Amino acid sequence: MLSITSFVCLLLLSLPLLVTAQNIHLSSIPHLSPGVFKGALFRQAPFTPTTEVTKALFENWDAKDFIAVDDRVRGGKSQSYLEVDSKKKTARFYGHLDIKTLGNAGFASQATKSDQKIWDLSKYSGIKFTTLEGDNKRYSISFKNTFLNQNPDGSQESALEYKYLFKGRPRKSSYFVKFSDFKPTYRGRVVDNAAPLNTSDIRVVQFQIASGFGQQQGSFSIKFQDIIASSL
Ligand SMILES: *[C@@H]1O[C@H](CO)[C@@H](O)[C@H](O)[C@H]1NC(C)=O
């Protein structure tokens, strides 16, 4: 006969199994098929996948939402464009990065231009984005909590930006970047001890290419397919 004590013991022993089963992602265990889980060991513990909540930053790309912020504002000659495909599903960031005029410096960027639009992404932990047809140059995506109007001469004051650098691969590539991995920078330099990005108050989304002190230059091109905030 099963005594109360041994029953309790069994229950306690199986507890860790039940607990882990809740947190396991089937996809993270390639050698066990979901069938194995359902059929035997974990029958008592229903598998509850973490539900991902997402929000697209740009439902449909529109070039009119962006403005060029190139080094011309500091006397350089770089130039960038944003070109949206006919179905509004991709945005191509391209142009020419000049480093001669400013002595190995130089940048080109496209930034959202509305002071009306504010993204509240506080429910999410980071963004996913997909790029296509890159040219192996280094690009960045950045967020700003400050919106600054461009002056009539095209120049713009600098603001703290939170930047993620990546290499634009020729093949379709997807990234998931936590907000905490966006580095606070000011005029291209990392700022120590900066306040973290306020994810409830994002006012600018910006694509940029910079020379990195002469490391890259010339024509550039990359396509963005989507940028999606994710709770994962
Ligand atoms: C973040 O932005 C929200 C909305 O503007 C504001 O209420 C809040 O105080 C900000 N948080 C910090 C830490 O600045």
Q: What is the pLDDT of residues 177-225, one digit of tens each?
A: 999 999 999 988 899 999 999 999 999 999 999 998 889 999 999 999 9
User: Cα(39)–Cα(92) distance, rounded to whole angstroms?
Assistant: 48
Q: Closest ligand 1 atom to the C-alpha of 195?
A: 13
What torsion, rounded to 10 degrees, do the Cα atoms 231, 142, 187, 151 define?
A: -120
Choice from 117, 146, 201 to test ligand 1 binding pocket (greatest atom count within 8 A of CB): 201
C-beta of residue 220 within 8 angstroms of C-beta of residue 95 = yes
Q: Indicate if ligand 1 lies below 6 Å from the C-beta of 90.
A: no
pLDDT tens-digit profile of 24-71?
444 444 444 444 444 444 455 566 667 889 999 998 999 999 999 998
Residues in Cβ contact with 19 at an 8 Å cutoff, skipping those fewer than 6 apart: none
Distance of CA 74 to the CA centre of its chain: 28
Q: Which atom of ligand 1 lies nearest, measured to the CA of 201?
A: 2
Q: How big is the chain, counted in residues?
A: 232
Q: Which atom of ligand 1 is nearest to the CA of 196?
A: 13
Cα(141) to ligand 1 centroid in Å equals: 22
Return the pLDDT at 31: 44
pLDDT for res 38: 45
CA-120 nearest atom, ligand 1 = 4
Quick: pLDDT tens for 80-121.
999 999 888 999 999 999 999 888 889 999 999 988 889 999
Distance 79 CA to ligand 1 centre (A): 34
Q: Whose CA is nearest to atom 2 of ligand 1?
A: 201
DSSP for 77-144, written as a single string: --EEEEEE-TTS--EEEEEEE--TTTTS--EEEEEE--SS--B--TT-SEEEEEEES--S-EEEEEEE
Atom of ligand 1 nearest to the CA of 198: 1
Q: Enter the pTM of the model.
A: 0.77
Asked if 209 and 219 count as a contact pair (C-beta separation under 8 A), the reply is: no
Mean pLDDT of the chain: 83
CA dist 218 and 211 (Å) reads 9
Q: What is the pLDDT of residue 156?
A: 72
Q: What is the CA(195)–ligand 1 centre distance, in A?
A: 11
**Contact (Cβ atoms closer than 8 angstroms) between residue 111 and residue 206:** yes
Residue 146 CA, ligand 1 centroid: distance in Å: 12
What does the pLDDT read at residue 53? Answer: 93
The answer, yes or no, to whether any atom of ligand 1 lies below 6 A from the CB of 198, is: yes
DSSP-derived letter for residue 29 is -
